[in-house]
Structure formats: C-alpha cells, structure tokens
Amino acid sequence: MVTCINQNQMIFQTVFASFSLYYDLQTLKNAHTDYKPPKIVDFIRQEAFSSIVWPSTFFVFSVFWLFFAYDRSLFYPANIDKAISDTSNHIMHTWIFPIALWEMMFYHRSKPKNSWMRLAVTWIVEVTYISTLIYVYASYGAWVYPIFGKLHGSLWFPLFFVASAGILAVAYHLQWYLYSIFWRTVPKLSEKAP
C-alpha cells in the first residue's frame, strides 16, 4: 500500500520533470530565434510547480525526516527496508528537495498578486491525498502509515491534517521568500541594463 501512494507521487514528479525538460529543450533549441514557449505551457509549468510540486516536496521532505528521526516506525517501519532500498528511500524523501531548489534557482517565477487560488490548489491536492489514505483504510482495513492507526479515533487525527494544511501553507509562502533570495541580483525586465 505504501508503494502504491509513493508510486503516484513519483509518477507526478516524473511527469512534471518531463514536462519541464521538454520546455527547457525547446527553449535551448530555439535560443537563436525569438521563440517563446506557448503561454499555456509556461502557465502550466509555473502553476504546477508553485501550487503542487514545491509545497508537497517541502512537506514530504520535512515531515518524513522529522518523524523518521523521532520514531521511524510511525511512518516508515523497519520491515519496509526489505522491499524499498535506502537509495529508493532517499530518492523519494531526500533528493526531491534539492531538485526542487535547483528548479527555483534556475527558473524564475514571480509571486502572484493573489495567492489564494494557488493555495487552494495546494489544499485540494492535500484533500485528495487524505481521501486516498482513507479509501485505502476503508478498502483494506489498514493504514498506509502506522501513525494514523495510533491517531485514528482521537482528536489528534483531524488535527494532524489541519497541521499538514498549515505546513503546506507555510511551504507555499516560503517559496516566494526563497525566490527573492535566489533572484535578488537579477534586474527587473522594465529596467535597462547599462
């Protein structure tokens, strides 16, 4: 069950990476011309990263390793090591973070005037993920992550998901601060270079 959900995350990350690679290759291929990617392609790349990829990457990286350090059996019991190697574990939970930072350092995005719609997309993805977790529990009688078995039936169960929504909101807004750090020296398009 764990691998099913992780496979969905990996498929999404692979689709986004492939889409971004296509975008970059088209830009490089046509660098000597006045080529600009179609606006819809640019829009999808920007929105998917800022609303889904970055917040979920930050969440997975920070929450997984926090719980792993505290008590790995809550999210990643030792018996999973038989099926998922340490390398795969780090690809799924560690390397996604520096790759997302790399994307931020080399592809500038501007903070939108109204972030609420994009944050709503982030939360819709969270609700979809929670629904998947609950569906798996209802279908198989087991939680994908052992922590939910411990929290289920208590006030901590819904609070965990509320806290998750809060972490996702912090992650969403954190990206704009990071962009301001990474892109501080880049002149605005309206300014003329000397």
* 3-state SS class at 5: helix
Task: Give the rounded distance of the alpha carbon of 79 from its chain centre.
Answer: 26
Q: pLDDT per residue over 98-155, tens digit each?
A: 989 998 998 888 888 888 999 999 999 999 989 988 999 999 999 988 999 999 999 9
The band of 194, judged by pLDDT with boundaries at 50, 70 and 90, is very low
Q: Which pLDDT value is given to residue 5?
A: 52
Q: Are 190 and 136 in contact (CB under 8 A)?
A: no
| Sequence spans of domains, the chain | 2-182
* 3-state SS class at 53: helix
What does the alpha-carbon distance between residue 142 and residue 134 come to, in Å, rounded to a whole number?
Answer: 9
The pTM (predicted TM-score) of the whole model is 0.81
171-187 mean pLDDT: 84
